[in-house]
Structures are given as C-alpha cells and as structure tokens.
Structure 1
C-alpha cells in the first residue's frame, strides 16, 4: 500500500507539473536576457515640445484600450482591457489626471483569469471600475470570454491590497458597468442582443439595466429592462450601442454609450432620464465625441475615438477618458487603441467633450494647480522616452506581461540576467507561451536585448518576437541546424477568418552566427518599415532580412483588438527552421 501511495503521488506530481508548466523543463542552457532597451522617437513629440503647463495626449500610449475611471476623495483609479494578456486589467492611480502610476493588475491570479486556452483577442473585454461610497468598496465588473465565466465582478476595500476572486453574474451580453445611487441601491447596465426575433439588422444591439443585489453580488432576477434599442436614432439602424455608463447630476440620470463600432465610425453619445430605469431620451446634439468626420490626411491624426468614461477632476471640472488610435504613415494601427483624455463642458444640460468634435491635438493644458512630472518619480512616461530594464530587481516592472499565463511560470532571476525557462510551446499556439512582453508605444521605436544562449537542437530558439496575435507575428531568434548556430527571421501571416483561417510562415532570412559571446538583437521601426538586426559587440548592428512591412502587426490588418507586443521569447517547440 505504501508503494502504491508513492506511485500515485509521483503520477499526480507529473500531471500537475505538465499542466502548470506546459511541458517546461529547467534546462542548464536556458537563454538569459541581460538587458532590454526600448526607445521611442515619434516626430509628433519632436515637433510639439511641452510648455510648463502642458501634457501629452494620449495619456497612456500603446495598447491600453477601453479605459474606465473612478474617484475616491483625491485618488483616481483607471483600468483597461487586456484580452488574453496575463496578468489582466492594469490599474493606474493618479492624484491629478495628468501624472499616472501603475499600481498593479486587478486580475493577477489564475483563480481570477482563465485565459490559458483562448486566442489573444478573447479573454478580458471592457472593464468598468467604480467606487461605492455607501459601503466604502471598489468594484471592477467585466466580461471574461474564457473559462466559462462570462460577466463577473471582483471587489476590494483597497486597490493596493489586491482584489477578490470573481463573482459570476447571471446575464449575457458584454460591457457591463455598475452604478451606485445615493439611496444605496445599485444597478448594472450592459450591451446585449435584442430580444429573440426582434433583430432588425446586422449590428443591432440594445442597452439593458438590472437591479444589483450588493449582499449577494448578483443581478436581481426579473428586473432586466431594455433602456436603449439600437441607438440614438433607431430609424437610421445605428450599430453597436455599447460601453454604457450611468451618471447622476442635478437629480437626473445620464446614460453615456459608445455607438458606431470600434472603428472609423466610433463615437460617444448621451441620453437622460428622470428615473434610473428609464425611459432615456437622447441629447439633441449627439454625438458628443467623435473623429469620424475628418479626412485621413490630417496632421497628427487621431481616429476611432469613443468608449468613454467621465469623472470630476481636481479643479471640479469634468473630464472624459476614452480610446483612440494614431495610425502610422500607411494607415496601420500597430500601437493599438490608446487612452486619451479631454475636458468635458457640463455647464449646461448635456455634457460635451471640449474639442472632441474637431481634429484632436497632441497637447493639452494641465488642470489648474497641477504640475506635469513628465514620467519622473515613478510616473508612467509618455511622449518620447527611453526605458531600460536590467532585470536586477525581482520586482518586475508592471509593463512586462505574459500571454495566457503568469510570467512567474517561466522567468528566473540570475546574477547574469533574466533566465527564461522555455515551454514546449511556440508563439503560434493558443497556449501560455514563455515570452515576456511589453507594448509597442511609438510609431518610431527601437527594442534591443542582449542574449546569452547556445541552443542544442533545432527545436530550441530564443530571441525577439513582434506579435499582433498567434496568427500574425515576426520571430527573430537563435536556433541550431546540425552543428551550426543560426539566426533566423520568420514572418507568420493568417489568411481568412474564423474556422476558415489558414496560417502560413515564411523564413525571410537566416545566417550562421558566432555565439561564443552574448549576441545583441534589435528590432526597430520607422512607421510601417521594420528592420531586424544583430550585433556581436553590442554596438555595430548588421541587418538581417532588409526592410519588412509592419502590416501584419496592425489591428486593422490582423483583426482583433490588441496592439503590437514586443517580447523576449524562448521555446523548445521551434518550427522556424532555415533550409
């Protein structure tokens, strides 16, 4: 019996090891990355230097879409969508709406985030964060398209101390938001499909409201009601009314939503009612925010503006955070949907985003009494900046994320740098990958890392990956073919949609490489032109593969909802093998 128990324990250990590490083995020759340098060099910031009382818009560059914001006293908290990235839902803190510090992630445990087997653009959609002064509690409600979860809520008394495990909510649809009324009652609003049999056209959606039971953390069955059917003008068949938020001002209830879809027709619209359950009447001058009326050739183009949330600022004015894009010279959206802010004029009956209906500018005036710290003192940088990571601290910067699984499952700190213990998973698979990512935050940038690695077979590869998704990416790394060490550049591109999608990979270039010393790898871009290079002395770089297109790294080419992720990558399931 004792032997049987030992055998069973050994079997269980193997099963758990295989599940947790996806075939990971700690290898003696695992790659070590000793330094990463990211440098942004966008022309817009060179042409528009800041004056003493200005700050840049977007406030959070790169793929931090779908912002939602709340306030407790003098503290502001903001969250964003993260899809299959792990940890999920970055949370930022500010005292003034100008200087932001990331304080962690809301969903940082496997018990909260179950995206291990989902595509990069599934997972976490459109979080909403709200502070309930009636019970001194913060709530984050979100749709998780993974793990059989759907709509869920987590909560905390202090965002710095972590969040609860999810409470699964009993309703369909997406983009839920909570509203806490002054009388202590709570409500959920969300996007949903029309009632069965009442769909009128493609993209027809509705906004629903439910009463919410704060004791049970659940919507109250039978209280659901459609409060917007289609959008502002149902006769025009408006599409994708979504991302609702309710606000209360002067004893009236205001319902703000996105309309038009997250693309060129994106906009923000507003309705009002004397009762939280409706009926809601649209403002006569909708939309209150959009960039859809302007030509593609405008300078410093911002587009796709919408999916907004409002908050009162430190100067008692209202401000709205929202997503937008800044396409490159070829109209590509490689930096993804970013977070912008504008002041909101709510001096009359209806709120309107100031300068939100004219072409947006790259700079704003700071609120009165606020100083722009320009990314110093631990605040999140924007504009042009250089970020250097030496991996000499075990408190890894929050900007580094994994894909479908925790970073801690594959990283190891050494006195030589950061070791990545590779999974037997390559970047094209829908599984957790042993890749440490940060977001591309500029159109013009360089991303450089030093790698110490001697692969033992063609199945081993380590280097850089530029990733839009599992079906659209570049891999630039070191592998082995026979007795030769090889540096290889591979392009992977999907064709078609859904189940009809096929994925093909092409080796664009390769070369024999001397790995007697660490090698430095680099990707750099000027707009849509990407170049990959390597250096054996850390200074003089040789190009491999010429100039390649960034097309497959663009949201509007690859589809989905993310921007480009730049990663340091290792695998023992390599299939990028040169002839």
Structure 2
C-alpha cells in the first residue's frame, strides 16, 4: 500500500460536510438516515485538490503527494506508453474530432497535451491502444459508426515514426465483432491483438493487417450472480510482460450502469498462447459502496514508474458528477512474492505519495492547459473539437487578429456541429464576446450530444434558450448583433448572463439544472462540455473566450 500524508486539514470541511449531509438526511430520510450519512462521511469527504491554471484542479499537491483524478474530466479508457524517460497517454474521444490527443509526462502525475493524432472522422472512437514496436508508434482504434444504419463496428490502425506525427491515414482491420484491441508481442516475436470477449487475432509483422481468423483463448473470471452490474462485457484487454509471465488485465461488469458494476480482473500465463490462470484475488479493483468517491472503476493498464516501481491507470466516474464523464485515475501496484500483483490506494479519495524518480517535463503550466483562448494561436484539435464533424467541417474556421470566424450552418446546434472542449471542474464559468451577421444566430452551450444540450443563443432580434436539446424563443434581444455572454455551471446549477461591455452583467431570466445530462440517462459515453455554435446564414465572430474554475 502507498504512504499517506498526515491528516492535518479537513476538520472544518468535515464538520461542514456532516452538517450538510445530516440536514439533507433529516429532510428526506429521517434521523436514522442522518446517522447513516454521518457513519459514511469518512468515505466521501476528500481533501481539497490543488488548483492550477485558471483555478482548474490538478493532481499534484506540491508536497510530494497527489490526489486523483490524474486527468480530470472526460478522459476514459486510458492507454499509456513508457518510452524511455517519457510517458505518453491518450483516451477514448468518441465523436470529438480531431481526436486521440496525445498527452506527455515524465513523472506520471503532471501531464500536458501535445497533439491530436486522428483527424479523419472514422466513427465514435472507443478504448484505443497506444504502443511502440521497433521504433514505430502505433494506435489501434476501435470505432462504431453511430450514424450508420448498421452501426458498423471495426478497428483501425494508424502509425507514426514520431509521436508528434505526422500520423498515417487510418487502415481498416475489419474486426467487425470486437472492440478494445490490446497489442502484445509473443515470446517468439509474433504480434497479436487481444480483443473483447477473451479473443485474439494475429497481426502481420508490420502491425498493419491481420493474419488468419479470430480465436477464443481466454474465459474471463466471473463475478457472483448477485452482484449489481451492468453486464458481463469482458473488454479492454491489456497485456503486460513482467518476469516469467504475461499478465492479461480485463474489465468486466459493464462500464457504466450500477456504480458497483465495472471492475478489474487479471490472469497470467508463461506463454502468449496460454493457458491463462485467474488471479486468486479477483476482482482487483471494484467500487463496493455508493459512498465511495469514485464509481464504476475499471479498464486498467499497468505501467512501470520512473524509479522502477509499478502503477496503474484506469478510469472512474466521480460520485455526484456523472456529467464530467469517466476521469483518469492513478493507483500504486505492488508485486507479490508469488508473482502476482495487487492494487493499492483504496477508493482513491485520499492523497497518495507520488511516484519516485520523476522529472519535470519542461512544459508550462506543469499540468493541463489554460482553457481561456484569445484565438491568436491555433488550438483546434488540442483544445477545441467539433462534435461528429463532416469531412470539410474544419473549413468553417478562420482565425484573424484575435478573432475566430465561424461559418454558420444548420438551423440549430443539433444540425450545426458546435466547437466544444473538456473541463474537469465541478463548478466553472465561461464567457465570450460574440458578433453575428444578419441571418445568423449563435451562443454558448453545455453540450452532451445532438439530443441533449442546454445554453443561451441569440439573433439580431431575440434570445433563444436551449433546454433539453429543444430551442425556445425568448424575449427581445436589446444588444443587437453583438454582445458578451457568460454561462455559469455551479455544480449542475446553470445560469446565464449578458453584457454590452463585458464589465456590467445582467442575469438572464432562465436557469437550468443539468445533473441528469450523462450516459446513464442518454447513452453515448460523453460528458457535458462547454462550447459555442453558429447556425443560420453568414458567419459569427467569437472573441476572448474566458474560462474560470469557481
């Protein structure tokens, strides 16, 4: 187990949390419920996280410890690669394009985005695999065409000789019945993709095509029938070779649904060809109580730390904040004398000692990046993404003298792909100066998908509110074709503000509550993202996008 720092902080915070929990319990469940809440309080109250650029939360506490999430906000299905002193990581990006942003670290705690590796829309990107073989980088990418009549599933490969690219065009591997490819190299040098359901297929020596047919090689460990899960769903296989064994880590139980469903199991074999022996302590990771800080924890990968110790990255939903999507978590791993490994960190609600031997990676800020954008530099693909863009969608954007010009398309946000970005904060606000052409309308959004979003828009005459993905006409717009707009999302309570000058603000007479804008309501595995849109005719000009964590 990892070391914990002295608990020198949260007495006042804990008392406030107890008071809040007790009051809520008395209102909704009586004194016995209040007592139960007090009994569970230690499990749900965590120390405050560190604040980085713009007040965004970051993992490094600055005292030799870190606090999860490792990468806040929607960064699910992490795939991590150790390449000498460098670590690279990317995540599922679903309908966001450009996608598969590569992140870099040298200490496993502080991470910065580098570049988007996937620019061509090949479908909703699920659980990729980043690997390096004989000096070349590969990304194996499962996708699902959610807008196709047959919802086609397949997997692709792209490659690059430099992590910064250029990355190749996607090559279809025609794996129509499987997801989540995990790359492995056998003891004889053969290359394989392990797939969902305990299957695998051989790769050609260059890793760009498959050889032969899919074969079933592993029957995953099965949980008791009375556990609350979403479904068996063996997926996310990851292979690590360590010592005399290959270790196969798999997720089962479903990635969402009941918070106790998703889990991590493992097996090992002395050959890439099996047979596979179940870990005697399966499941190695599982949310066991609704009072835990992190729900639906799973989809793990092992990685060696800078000083030779071992760690794992996986994902989980934050208790009370499904809207932030699945966030990346970091946990210590300990190898045992019998050749197995165990996960440490508990439910990851408390600080953990940082991996030893890490170095600064030379980026500023040390972790994350500013979301405020004056539009003088091109952040398309690293910060800004279109949702399910058309092949020529990028041609809608033009930047000039600190102004982002966006061509208006469609009749509503749902038919005009918005530009959105990921945030990991529980409470935040963002604002922008917006100017529209005649015939255009635009605004700021909190976007889940084409059927579920909210926000405030305007044209030259009226305001429009977006509620539950429905457009509603509102009172006259006194600002005309140019105004400043602000959206505040304070732990799911959404309010809007407008201004002529960006100094004197007036609150708009409509608000929202958006805690239900998440996967278990709508599906899709997304998060609620801040962004903006331009619909109608002509163009819309955006200036000085400002973000601030609250």
Structure 2 counterparts to residues 463-482 of structure 1, below 5 A: 463-480=443-460
Matched residue count: 471
- Per-residue deviation at 1:351? 1.7
- Per-residue deviation at 1:311? 1.0
- Quickly say closer, same or farther: Cα 1:506–1:87, change in 2 above 3 A: closer
- Per-residue deviation at 1:236? 7.7
- Per-residue deviation at 1:182? 4.9
| TM-score relative to the length of structure 1 | 0.75
| TM-score relative to the length of structure 2 | 0.79
For 1:456, the equivalent position in structure 2 comes to 438
Which runs of 5 or more structure 2 residues have no equivalent in the other structure? 1-52, 539-550
Structure 2 counterparts to residues 341-490 of structure 1, below 5 A: 341-348=330-337, 349-355=339-345, 358-370=346-358, 377-381=364-368, 387-394=371-378, 396=380, 398-405=382-389, 408-415=394-401, 417-424=403-410, 426-429=412-415, 433-453=416-436, 455-457=437-439, 460-480=440-460, 485-490=461-466
- Quickly say closer, same or farther: Cα 1:387–1:273, change in 2 above 3 A: same
For 1:144, the equivalent position in structure 2 comes to 143
Distance 1:420 1:314 in 2: 44
- Per-residue deviation at 1:71? 1.5
Which secondary structure does the structure 2 equivalent of 1:173 belong to?
A: coil
Which runs of 5 or more structure 1 residues have no equivalent in the other structure? 1-37, 116-122, 192-205, 494-504, 575-579
- Per-residue deviation at 1:249? 1.7
Which of 202, 219, 239 is residue 229 of structure 1 equivalent to? Answer: 219
CA displacement 1:230-252 (0-9 Å, x = unmatched): 53359889711110011112221
Which of 155, 161, 173 is residue 157 of structure 1 equivalent to? Answer: 161
- Per-residue deviation at 1:519? 1.5
Distance 1:49 1:149 in 2: 38
Question: Is structure 2 residue 118 aligned with structure 1 residue 87?
Answer: no
Contact map agreement 1:187 1:212 (CA 8 A) in 2:
yes
Structure 2 counterparts to residues 186-205 of structure 1, below 5 A: 186-191=191-196
- Per-residue deviation at 1:316? 0.5
Question: Is structure 2 residue 62 aligned with structure 1 residue 98?
Answer: no
Distance 1:345 1:416 in 2: 50
- Quickly say closer, same or farther: Cα 1:467–1:441, change in 2 above 3 A: same
Question: Is structure 2 residue 317 aligned with structure 1 residue 335?
Answer: no
Question: Is structure 2 residue 205 aligned with structure 1 residue 214?
Answer: yes
Question: Is structure 2 residue 303 aligned with structure 1 residue 307?
Answer: no
Which secondary structure does the structure 1 equivalent of 2:394 belong to?
A: helix
Distance 2:226 2:239 in 1: 24
- Per-residue deviation at 1:462? 0.9
Which secondary structure does the structure 1 equivalent of 2:126 belong to?
A: strand
For 2:289, the equivalent position in structure 1 comes to 294
- Per-residue deviation at 1:106? 1.6
Which secondary structure does the structure 2 equivalent of 1:271 belong to?
A: strand
- Per-residue deviation at 1:376? 6.3
Which secondary structure does the structure 1 equivalent of 2:459 belong to?
A: strand
Superposition RMSD in Å = 2.7
Which secondary structure does the structure 1 equivalent of 2:521 belong to?
A: helix
For 1:35, the equivalent position in structure 2 comes to none
Which secondary structure does the structure 2 equivalent of 1:64 belong to?
A: coil
Contact map agreement 1:473 1:552 (CA 8 A) in 2:
no
- Per-residue deviation at 1:68? 0.5
Which secondary structure does the structure 1 equivalent of 2:472 belong to?
A: strand
For 1:114, the equivalent position in structure 2 comes to 122
For 2:69, the equivalent position in structure 1 comes to 58
For 2:503, the equivalent position in structure 1 comes to 539
- Quickly say closer, same or farther: Cα 1:217–1:396, change in 2 above 3 A: closer
Which secondary structure does the structure 1 equivalent of 2:501 belong to?
A: coil
Distance 2:273 2:187 in 1: 15
Distance 2:279 2:372 in 1: 48
For 1:491, the equivalent position in structure 2 comes to 467
For 2:255, the equivalent position in structure 1 comes to 262
- Per-residue deviation at 1:153? 1.2
- Quickly say closer, same or farther: Cα 1:49–1:167, change in 2 above 3 A: closer
Higher relative contact order structure (alpha carbons within 8 Å, sequence separation ≥ 6): 1
Question: Is structure 2 residue 249 aligned with structure 1 residue 250?
Answer: no
CA displacement 1:8-35 (0-9 Å, x = unmatched): xxxxxxxxxxxxxxxxxxxxxxxxxxxx
Distance 1:532 1:487 in 2: 12
Structure 2 counterparts to residues 7-18 of structure 1, below 5 A: none
- Quickly say closer, same or farther: Cα 1:547–1:63, change in 2 above 3 A: same
